[in-house]
Amino acid sequence: MKFEVEIHQNEVKEWVATAVAWSVTVTGRTEKEALALLLDALAKHLRKSAGA
């Protein structure tokens, strides 16, 4: 599955990652952590949306 991700550092130096199409956003201490957290949050969001 492909999806658009936006990632940037905010004013307090946290990494913010967003799965654009699903409006799922997370923060992490590193870029790698934010991306991993985003994948987990997106999987949970999609399971919930599917009714599982």
The 10s digit of each residue's pLDDT in 19-41 is 999 999 999 999 999 999 999 99
Q: Which helix (H) or strand (E) holds 48?
A: helix 31-50
Overall number of domains in the chain: 1
Nearest to 49 by CA among 30, 15, 22, 13: 22
pLDDT in tens, 9-19: 999 999 999 99
pTM of the model: 0.86
Instruction: Give, in order, the Cα–Cα distances in Å from 45 to each of 19, 21, 26, 51.
Output: 11, 12, 12, 10
Instruction: Write out the residue range of the structural domain in which residue 28 sits.
Output: 5-50
